[in-house]
Amino acid sequence: MSEISVDLHMDLPGLHLKNPIIPASGCFGFGREFAQLYDLSRLGGIAIKSATPKSRFGNEVPRVAECESGMLNAIGLQNPGVDQIIETQLPWLAQFDTEIIANVAGASEEDYVEVIQKLNDQEVVKAFELNISCPNVKHGGIGLGTQPELAAKVTKMCKAVAKKPVWVKLSPNVTDIVAIAQAVEEGGADGLVMINTLMGMRLDLKSGKPILANITGGLSGPAIKPVGLRMVYQCAQKVSIPIIGVGGITSGEDVLEYLYAGASAVEVGMYNFVDPYCCIRIIDELAEVLKKYGLPSVKDAVGRSLRV
Amino acid sequence: MKTEKGTILRQECIAKDTYRMVITTTQSADMNPGQFVNLAIANVMLRRPISICSIDKDSFTIIYKVVGKGTALLSRMYAGECIDVFGPLGNGYVIEEREQEVLLIGGGAGVPPLYELAKRYLRCGAHVDVVLGFHDEPSIFYEQEFRDLGCEVYVATMDGSYAHQGTVLDAIDQEGIKTSFICACGPLPMLKALEQRYTKGYFSLEARMACGMGACMACIAKDAREADMYHRICKEGPVFAIGKVVLV
């Protein structure tokens, strides 16, 4: 069945998504490699690789370690810096009919503000995604995302300068994610993206040492899907801003679960490494799965678990 | 570069913990020596990057060593089974057609990509010397295969159980091989030792990868000259000119 009679469309702050599937930041680069495999215009949107004020090399290698049902990464926000991204990546991305979300990162609140100010007038960027949840950088990143006051503060500062909607990507490495979600909402966030990776580690049996040069890394993949679902479900009941669900999505069924839990769209991360065509497959599967469960649109699935 | 389901035509153990697998492909025209494929293996999460050893019209050959769970599972697949192949990936060896004397140096699991490379240089009319290093005699493979192509082949074993005792450099010294242009693939200590002596040629690097296509930034090598400059081993590599990147 290729003829799709279900409505995959979703309108969110800054984002008019033709379908709710968005490759997650850090797992898709700037799309150039995947553009050799399929037309990026088929995607609802793309969350591009984090931008910081200056270029960052990131962590030493090894930067990845495999796990039973996922992987650890400690890339360390390697990116060419916001100016370079504006110069070389955004003009190229403009050719695609898909919504570009700029993931913004930094070592201080001022860094976030600086990146946003530089990206404000870039027409191709439709929304910002504040990365206050990267577990692999020493300052900023997760430091801002684990305390409600700090999370609210950076959100407020970014909102004050941003000319586009601001989404905030939350860390699961907290005692009470609802408190962070509420703080960020009060700070003026237009939406939440959750969850970033769970902090973990692995050790080498021969050397007895951690496999990752950074010692710890962020766990992603199917292993974290139940955690992501639980957190989306908890937050969806306590905030009124929309949520983009992330964590362990590999199929249309997984997307439907996130929609039921309260997400309005999803990001797909590490599975792009396993099946480089997975986002396209998941879009097709989602249409089938919605049909199977008698749901005429994505909107009908959003928050279904909260209505029962 | 694409994913496709290949059929395993042959799977055989050719040396200690070392297997050769022949897989059907529609991509042979795009494959070059030094490139690799990223294989999906059931029951492990990430694909496994394996270098291409030999390229034929409708199939290609890989030779891999069982070093962990993924390669162990790969070694238990049978002829007739399907395998999901993503490739060809990366940049292979640049063929320097002016070089009349070529020295190929392989260490252990690094030997395979040199086989297709040897064919290409022989086709260019070059004289090809091959030095292969292994841990011990049971680990040796492809000595005769390289010889059958028309290469001069020398072997070194670390434990001295076969031919020259020691490293590939010991074999090169004992044989008095003077060729200055080399292409090498093997363990890091071997490449580091070669870097001390040779300046002309190419190294193929191994790395822990995730995507295998340049998107995830997992397999990074630093540029040897420019600070803050990096190269993706899976994308700009895995083959680099000697001295291009820092070997770590």
Q: Does B213 contact A276 at a Cβ distance shorter than 8 Å? A: yes
Of residues B226 and A135, more confidence is placed in B226
pLDDT in tens, A13-23: 999 999 999 99
Q: Does B215 contact A36 at a Cβ distance shorter than 8 Å? A: no
Domain membership of residue A5 (yes or no) is: no
Residues of B in contact with A273 (CB under 8 A): 46-47, 210-212, 215-216
Chain B, 9 to 38: residues with Cβ < 8 Å from chain A are none
Give the residue from B89, B216, B229, B231 with the most A CB atoms within 10 Å of its CB, the best one to mutate.
Answer: B216
Calculate the CA B174 to chain-centre distance. 24
Q: What pLDDT score does A208 carry?
A: 98
Domain membership of residue A2 (yes or no) is: no
Q: Are A8 and A283 in contact (CB under 8 A)?
A: yes
Catalytic position from the list A27, A134, A278, A279: A134
DSSP code, position A38 = S
Q: Are B223 and B230 in contact (CB under 8 A)?
A: yes
Q: Does B230 contact A57 at a Cβ distance shorter than 8 Å? A: yes
* Phi, psi angle pair for A248, to nearest 5°: 75, 20
pLDDT of residue A4 exceeding 60: no
Residues of chain B short of pLDDT 70, as ranges, are none
Residue A7: Cβ-neighbour burial (10 angstroms; 0-12, 13-18, 19+): middle
Please give the C-alpha separations between residue A81 and each of A11, A24, A59, A129, in angstroms, as whole numbers: 30, 18, 16, 16
CB count, 10 Å around CB of B161? Answer: 14
Confidence of residue A144 (pLDDT cuts 50, 70, 90): confident
Q: What pLDDT score does B228 carry?
A: 82
Q: Does A64 contact B214 at a Cβ distance shorter than 8 Å? A: no
> What are the helix and strand counts (H, E) for chain B?
5, 16
Domain membership of residue A178 (yes or no) is: yes
CATH number at residue A21: 3.20.20.70
Domain membership of residue A4 (yes or no) is: no
Instruction: Render A79-116 in DSSP notation, one character per residue.
Output: B--HHHIIIIIHHHHTTSSSEEEEEE--SSHHHHHHHH
Look up the pTM and report it. Answer: 0.95
The Cα B50–Cα B63 span in angstroms is 8
Of residues A142 and A103, more confidence is placed in A103
Domain membership of residue A63 (yes or no) is: yes
* Phi, psi angle pair for B171, to nearest 5°: -65, -40
Q: How far is B211 from chain A, CA to nearest CA, in Å?
A: 4
Does B245 touch chain A if contact means CB atoms closer than 8 Å?
no
Average pLDDT of chain A, as a whole number? 95
Calculate the CA A66 to chain-centre distance. 20
Residues of A in contact with B214 (CB under 8 A): 29, 32-33
ipTM, 2 dp:
0.94
Q: What pLDDT score does A1 carry?
A: 46
Determine the average pLDDT of the residues in A78-103.
97
Q: Are B109 and B62 in contact (CB under 8 A)?
A: no
Q: Considering only alpha carbons, which residue of chain A is nearest residue B70?
A: A66
* Whether residue A195 has a cis bond before it, omega within 30° of 0: yes
Does A134 qualify as catalytic in the annotation? yes
Total structural domains in chain A?
A: 1
Radius of gyration of chain A (CA): 18
Q: Does B210 contact A33 at a Cβ distance shorter than 8 Å? A: no
Sketch out chain B's domains with CATH numbers: 2-89 (2.40.30.10), 102-194 (3.40.50.80)
pLDDT in tens, A203-238: 999 999 999 999 999 999 999 999 999 999 999 999
Domain membership of residue A1 (yes or no) is: no
Q: Does B220 contact A65 at a Cβ distance shorter than 8 Å? A: no
The Cα A184–Cα B121 span in angstroms is 62
Q: Does A62 contact B209 at a Cβ distance shorter than 8 Å? A: no
**Tokens at residue A193, please?**
């993206």
Chain A, 61 to 100: residues with Cβ < 8 Å from chain B are 61-71, 73, 75, 78
Domain membership of residue A166 (yes or no) is: yes
Q: How far is B5 from chain A, CA to nearest CA, in Å?
A: 12
Angle formed at CA B243 by CA B238 and CA B244, multiple of 5 degrees: 50
What is the span of the domain harbouring residue A211?
10-307
The Cα A80–Cα A83 span in angstroms is 8
Contact partners, residue A83, CB within 8 Å, separation at least 6: A118
Q: What pLDDT score does A134 carry?
A: 76
Does B178 touch chain A if contact means CB atoms closer than 8 Å?
no
Per-residue burial over A208-233, b if 16 or more Cβ lie within 10 Å, else e, is eebbbebeebbbbbbbbbebbbebbb
Q: Considering only alpha carbons, which residue of chain A is nearest residue B215?
A: A29
Residue A200 three-state SS = strand
Domain membership of residue A200 (yes or no) is: yes
Q: What pLDDT score does A142 carry?
A: 67
